[in-house]
Amino acid sequence: MRRLSAFALVTTLSAAGLVVTGCYSGPTREEAIADKTYLDDRALESFDKQLRDLADAIQSGNEMQEASLRTRISEGARTYQRALVSALYDDSSTPRRATAAILLGFTGDSQVITALLNALADTREHDSVRVNAAMGLQALDDKLRDYKEHKKLMSTLRVPMMDATSSMALRRACIGAYALAYDAAQGDTLLPVRDRFLGDPDIRVQIAAINALGDIGDPVAVPDLVGVGLRSPEPEVRAASAIALGRIPDPARCIPALADAGNDPNAGVRREAMDAISRHHGSNPELVYSTLIAGLSDFDAQVRESAALSLARLQDPRAIEPLLQATGDRTAVVRQAAVVSLGVLISAEREREAYPLIDLLSDNSSEVQAATLSTLSRITRVDHGTDQPRWREHFWKKYPELNPSLMYEGKAKPRVSSGINSTGARPTTRTTPRTTQQGRTTQQPRTNQPGRTNQPGRTNTPRPGR
């Protein structure tokens, strides 16, 4: 299931006027055995809290918590499915209808699509209910493409998308549902989405349309994304366009455009361009590789991080040395990204190249330390924890040439000049330039100059007559 937007979840729930006033944690095991026919206030408050927690988990990138919450919400929604259908038509409570609309999508049952489309098409309905109906359709994901009345579904979504009087939230939600339901084999068209991208007055709707074009993945959208999206004065639009181009299978046109985006004046755009171009690496490996290597030297840490992570996708062993250098980056997230990628690129057969990573086990960042231990264990298939001496012993045993004490075994050590002369003292004579009559500069010993003190309390001055 594709992610619901955290922004959209928070917006629609706030618009519905839902306020969590209790601490109910959901139906008990005994209560969940039978289907519920009524959505009481306790269940309403519980679902509202879970939806808000889900929005927070998505926004913070906590994937484990997100997955757990989705499971809990889905289980609860299925238990209350009949009650939710009834609540969708409860004229006495707008919050109840709004909550029911989005939760019906979490049931995963395509039979609820008709009810959600009816709520979406009702222009007399409160905007929050219509928005949540579109969000509920998004939650059904691929069930939308199999809906028996596909053309009706798409036309119902198009109307609010194209209606200038529709709210921003409603237009965005309909665009997301339209992209999920899109099926070229059934004659669907990109024109409504393209229209929102190029003509909507709200940048948030434009970005939603760009995301939809990337999700749909039709190469027909590439010229607009390159010629308009990447040239937009708004960096958010340029960044979204770069992401979308990374999802569309048209490397011949996408790679050069993304390579140019790697030089964008905005760091956020460059960061997304690094990730996006790496997804097309098989078609032009040299240009992709050179773009990512340049990204490792970017002055913005997040761009360097993105480049380091993206290099792993190339599976190019040439990236090992640049990534080893990146483990010395001044920013911890870059060091961590480099270590993670090295764990992908360095195979067990090339284990020796992981030796420098041992120093990072004492990095001042706990995240870098953890990533280093994971990478070393993955490559060597042993685990010595953060015990650096044991790790060095492991490598020295297999690769004696790495042991400093054995570096010159059987060989003469190089002689190093100490700068001390035969008398045991270092030379102290300094020289100053002297200009000859021919204008050339030579060196001569510096002597005491007039007015300079040679001994305490005494000043060397020329004697009269000399």
CA 432 vs CA 42, 152, 347, 362, 428: distances in Å: 92, 93, 59, 49, 13
pLDDT score at 41? 84
Q: What is the mean pLDDT of each run of 10 residues along the chain (466 residues)?
A: 46 42 39 64 89 92 92 94 93 92 95 96 96 96 93 97 95 97 95 96 97 97 98 98 97 97 98 97 93 97 98 95 97 98 96 96 97 97 95 95 75 52 50 46 46 46 44
C-beta separation of 77 from 69 below 8 A: no
pLDDT of residue 454: 46
Residue with tokens 């992570």: 309
State whether residue 423 is helix, strand or coil.
coil
Structural contact between residues 134 and 177, judged by C-beta atoms closer than 8 angstroms: yes
Residue 225 backbone phi and psi in degrees, to 5: -65, -35
Reading phi first (left if > 0) and then psi (alpha if -120 to 50, else beta), residue 217 is in left
CATH number for the segment(s) 217-283: 1.25.10.10
Close Cβ partners of 208 (under 8 Å, ≥ 6 residues apart)? 171, 172, 175, 176, 196
Tokens describing residue 64: 């484990």
Give residue 428's pLDDT.
52
The verdict on domain 296-405 having CATH code 1.25.10.10 is: yes
Q: What is the pTM of this model?
A: 0.80
Backbone phi and psi for residue 443, each to the nearest 5 degrees, phi listed first: -115, 140
Which residues, in sequence order, are bridge partners of residue 432?
A: 444
Residue corresponding to tokens 């929604």: 77
* E strands, 119-170, in order: none
User: CATH 1.25.10.10 spans which residues of the chain?
Assistant: 217-283, 296-405
Measured at the CA of 133, the angle between CA 197 and CA 245, to 5 degrees, comes to 30
CB contact at 8 A, 203 and 236: yes
CATH value of 1-210 in 1.25.10, 3.10.450, 1.10.20, 3.40.50: 1.25.10
Residue 415 has a pLDDT of 58
